[in-house]
Structure 1
């Protein structure tokens, strides 16, 4: 698999950076993540870091190629959610940190992504916006209903209010999923709202122009920081330029041969066990929460 990847995370005009980025690579596979710790709740940075660490562990443990990418993303995000809840409960004194999250798995010639909250993924193709995630916010719902414009969405008083996040209640958040077969020179941009809310869409699209990817991302982040000065949020982004697939990583196995055990059967058994463990873990957290009332 041939790709170019770059990442950046800036403090902006904040006292601390609560954004976290992740780029994890394994032969024929890349996992990209941006997590934005939520202000107004204690230790958003802890929630974002816990999410990044949890997703990295899930990716490192995964059997490749992933036979069911959406199921993998769902399981990984659920695990990260419980890890954030558990980390908050273990804190002294207990806290309820929260974070948004967008994660993308690239394997073969396809990108699979999922998100919770208002951290976004943009798919850019041939100089234009091809797809983007839809925020889990009241303002996004207004935009989708045609009641506010894209520009009004960026400046709406409720633009920082999100309906879903990782952390807080042990109950799993609803996750949005999507996927797309990649074409040569496609760009995947994952970013926090500190980036996308500060610059017009036309500037985001310009990142797929000629030049070094890292330089283009850094320039875009700088534009966002200047545009929102002196109230700049943390600004973070991960960008991937797709060049070509590695066909040796097929659905039959990493080297093109069939694995010793059927992938589907092995994954199904693993998912059932992990789901049972998650259910027990969640029940224990909910019980502990009730006992503290």
Structure 2
């Protein structure tokens, strides 16, 4: 595989960074993910980090290519259970929540899934050829023709999501994307709403024209942050430019640029707690009963 992968995050005008991103690669596949911890609830950063850590563990312990769709679904379900367990382990117990988008790339194909309003874009030849549909009341209203895209930008429900990981109950059904056949030069962009919401949609395909993916990704993140000042959300994105399935040296993923709180350097105590919880859950997975259905959640403005 030949590819270039980069990620970035910015604090925005928040007191802490509750976004997280991930790029992992082995000889056969690349995994990308972005999580946006929900600031209207306790410790969104805890939920986002628990998701990233759980997903990374699933990627290392399982064969993701045997059944990519099943891998994505089961990984989201495992992360959901982990987030709940991590929240219940706090004193007092809390219900941290996060959105999530994840993509698995291998052999000229991409598979993805998402929950909430963190998005994936497939960019090709200066155009958006696919983007995920948000799990939000506004997306439902747009589909029904009840509001325009312009009205949605300032609508009172713009900060609500209808699906997320964590909280209570069973894992909400993720949306699985169609299998995408990649062409050299295609760019996969995963991002939080703090990244995509302030930007002109026509700016995103510029990633396919830039030779320096990291520089262009950072420029877009800075633009998103500045466009929302003084109310910028955390701004996070991970991008992969596909260069071909034939063997050769790949441009390895780089850690996210650090602006404010670290997006991919959790405290060691949190890592140990999540690892212990996941180990216990794996041992007793068959004994964990299903809970009540998850409820709709809203994030803070």
Alignment of 1:79 with 2:86, yes or no, is no
Does the CA contact (< 8 Å) of 2:125 and 2:209 recur in 1?
Answer: no
Which structure has more RCO (C-alpha within 8 Å, separation ≥ 6)?
A: 2
- TM-score, structure 1 as length reference: 0.84
Partner of 1:182: 182
C-alpha separation between the residues in 2 aligned to 1:247 and 1:226? Answer: 40
Partner of 1:136: 135
Partner of 2:201: 201
Larger Rg, first or second structure (1 or 2): 1
Partner of 1:106: 105
- TM-score, structure 2 as length reference: 0.82
Give the length in aligned residue pairs. 259
- Pair 1:245–1:160, CA change in 2 (3 A): same
RMSD, aligned CA: 1.9
Deviation of 1:139 (Å): 0.2
Superposed CA deviations along residues 82-139 of structure 1, whole A, max 9, x for unmatched, are 0000000001110000000000000111100000000000001111110000000000
C-alpha separation between the residues in 2 aligned to 1:188 and 1:200? Answer: 17
Deviation of 1:247 (Å): 7.2
Local SS of the residue matching 1:123: strand
Does the CA contact (< 8 Å) of 1:171 and 1:282 recur in 2?
Answer: no
Deviation of 1:68 (Å): 0.8
Q: Which has the higher helix share?
A: 1
- Pair 1:223–1:282, CA change in 2 (3 A): farther
Mind listing any 5+ residue stretches in structure 1 that lack a counterpart?
249-273, 287-293
Does the CA contact (< 8 Å) of 1:28 and 1:246 recur in 2?
Answer: no
Does the CA contact (< 8 Å) of 2:2 and 2:247 recur in 1?
Answer: no
Deviation of 1:189 (Å): 0.3
Deviation of 1:147 (Å): 2.5
Partner of 1:23: 23
Local SS of the residue matching 1:155: coil
Deviation of 1:211 (Å): 2.7
Partner of 1:146: 145
Q: How does 1:240-259 map to 2 (within 5 A)?
A: 240-246=240-246
Does the CA contact (< 8 Å) of 1:88 and 1:95 recur in 2?
Answer: yes
C-alpha separation between the residues in 1 aligned to 2:220 and 2:289? Answer: 40
Does the CA contact (< 8 Å) of 1:37 and 1:47 recur in 2?
Answer: yes
C-alpha separation between the residues in 2 aligned to 1:98 and 1:16? Answer: 15
Deviation of 1:275 (Å): 9.9
Local SS of the residue matching 2:41: coil
Partner of 1:267: none
C-alpha separation between the residues in 1 aligned to 2:68 and 2:19? Answer: 25
Mind listing any 5+ residue stretches in structure 2 that lack a counterpart?
249-280, 293-301
Partner of 1:232: 232
